[in-house]
Amino acid sequence: MQRFLSLAFLLVFLSATLALAEGPRPPADWNKPKALPPADGVGQVSFKQGGKAMTLPLQHIEIKNIDPKNGLFMVELKYVDAKQENWLELSFSSMPKLGKDDPRDSTTGIIAKTKVGGLSRAAANRTKCVWTALDLKDGEVSGALSCTGMTDLSAEKSAPDVTDVKFTGKVKQ
């Protein structure tokens, strides 16, 4: 009987020790993305990342006419799917008044992260983006570009290039 009680005590002790070793459990929504705010524009982007095709809806658009006299615009676009597994962000400045001489190679940032391709971003002095079309006016933008020489987050190694990008965006009224 005493042996049985000792064994029972040992089992209870081990169970309590294991339960304490696990620690408190994280909340159910731990490490899950927060819900997206309502999109402030309409549009989409289609692109290839390392040859894999992707199409995403517009989530955020910001077009600032920072120099009305010279027609200098700053544009920020963010495209993301509902599960937030795939997204693309594009930032650039443009002066449409200059026509074909518009310095659209001033892409200040392009970042793509997809479930299949990982993270690709523009690398300083290494990434080359070629614009093939751009239509830009107050509250509306569309265009196409391809970028090569991209890197991963550590900027130590190459990452899949983002090519054949076609984007549209219009601010919601």
10 within domain boundaries: no
60 within domain boundaries: yes
Q: pLDDT tens, 28-46? A: 667 677 788 888 899 999 9
79 within domain boundaries: yes
Q: Does residue 161 have a pLDDT over 90?
A: yes
Q: pLDDT tens, 60-85? A: 999 988 887 877 888 999 999 999 99
Q: Does residue 153 have a pLDDT over 60?
A: yes
Q: pLDDT tens, 94-149? A: 866 666 666 555 667 899 999 988 899 988 778 888 888 788 888 899 999 999 99
100 within domain boundaries: yes
Domain interval for residue 134: 41-171
Residue 95's domain is classified under what CATH number? 2.40.128
Q: Are 168 and 156 in contact (CB under 8 A)?
A: no
90 within domain boundaries: yes
Q: In whole angstroms, what is the distance from residue 152 CA to residue 65 CA?
A: 31
- The model carries a pTM of 0.76
Overall number of domains in the chain: 1
Backbone angles phi, psi at 56, to 5 degrees: -130, 150
